[in-house]
Amino acid sequence: MAENRIKQNRKLIDKALKTYLGKASSSSGDVLSAMKYALFPGGKRLRPILCLESSMACGANIKSAIAPACAIEFIHNFSLIHDDLPAMDNDSIRRGRPACHVKFGEGIAILAGDALLNLAFMIISDMRNKKIALKLIKTISYSIGLNGMIGGQGLDIKRKGNIGESRINDLKTGMLFACSLSGGAIAASAPSAKIRALEKFGKDFGSAYQIYDDLKDNTYQTQELEKKRTKLKKILNRTKSSLEIFGRKADNLRYIADKLERKSLRS
């Protein structure tokens, strides 16, 4: 049942992303083509799915979180386009095909990323409840700015001092997961205690997800591999303890955490 709802939510998100993108511009130029290329067919849509599930855990209708969920997915893809650039991580392949800058050139890729970021804030600002929209804009801006994703990317480029891999990942990966979860709660007009609980879930889930991402490379010795899996399990147990305040309403979030653990055992 949980897996079916996740699949339904993914379809809902894809449909909404196409709708928002269609309204963004009547242009059929290279920038719009690059945006579409980056977004579709897309990945797992994990961050927007978590946003929707967060909102539903707070007792809201799923429609209340569609805008922030799509905004976060636009931002995630903006970050992937820019991360792949030669000046950043210099990756030529993304999701099994040429990265956006390889397909369209660096200039168009940069503009496509910028346009996705702007579109994210535009759709949130169009939400009917302006108080919630403003709170979402503030939360997301903080999470992807110098104290979050962009700050983490900056540290990753320089790798100076005693900044470890864990700190970089907490900022680059964890903060976007955190605002995915807290964003869904904010869209649901949840009380501050529930917003904080889901934000904590998101940060911990982001840490676990980064470990899982590393495990997929499978370059570790057996002892180190088991050490990583044990750490991931410990973090995921902590994430689920953050959900106690929600009771059964957060069962799908628990399912997603459990699924990540199961997948890590196959890595």
User: pLDDT category, 32, cuts 50, 70, 90?
Assistant: very high
Taking the C-alpha atoms of residue 104 and residue 258, their distance in angstroms, rounded to an integer, is: 38
Give the pLDDT confidence of 225-240 residue by residue, as tens digits: 888 889 999 999 999 9
For the cut 80, the answer to whether the pLDDT of residue 41 exceeds it is yes
User: pLDDT category, 29, cuts 50, 70, 90?
Assistant: confident
Averaged pLDDT, 6-35: 90
Q: What are the structural domains, with CATH classification, of the chain?
A: 2-190 (1.10.600.10)
Region of 59 (left: φ > 0; alpha: ψ -120 to 50; beta: rest) is left
User: pLDDT category, 165, cuts 50, 70, 90?
Assistant: confident
For the cut 60, the answer to whether the pLDDT of residue 78 exceeds it is yes
Residue 97's H or E segment, with its range, is: strand 97-98
For the cut 90, the answer to whether the pLDDT of residue 265 exceeds it is no
Identity at 244, one-letter amino acid code:
E
Let me know: does 182 contact 198? Beta carbons within 8 Å: yes
pLDDT of residue 213: 86
Let me know: does 85 contact 113? Beta carbons within 8 Å: no
The overall average pLDDT reported for the chain is 92
Q: Which of 2-6, 26-30, 258-262 has the lowest mean pLDDT?
A: 26-30
Give the pLDDT confidence of 180-224 residue by residue, as tens digits: 999 999 999 999 999 999 999 999 999 999 889 888 877 677 788
Taking the C-alpha atoms of residue 97 and residue 37, their distance in angstroms, rounded to an integer, is: 10
Averaged pLDDT, 87-111: 95
Taking the C-alpha atoms of residue 144 and residue 8, their distance in angstroms, rounded to an integer, is: 28
pLDDT of residue 118: 96
pLDDT of residue 25: 73
Q: Alpha helices of the chain — where are they, by DSSP H? A: 2-24, 30-39, 46-57, 66-83, 100-104, 106-125, 130-144, 149-158, 165-169, 175-187, 192-217, 222-241, 251-265
For the cut 90, the answer to whether the pLDDT of residue 169 exceeds it is no
For the cut 70, the answer to whether the pLDDT of residue 164 exceeds it is no
pTM for this prediction: 0.94
Q: Which of 62-66, 107-111, 256-260, 263-267 has the lowest mean pLDDT?
A: 263-267
User: pLDDT category, 266, cuts 50, 70, 90?
Assistant: confident
User: pLDDT category, 71, cuts 50, 70, 90?
Assistant: very high
CA 209 centroid distance within chain: 11
Listed residue (100, 141, 99) closest to 118, CA to CA: 141
Identity at 99, one-letter amino acid code:
A
For 76, other C-beta atoms within 10 Å of its C-beta total: 24
Let me know: does 97 contact 138? Beta carbons within 8 Å: no
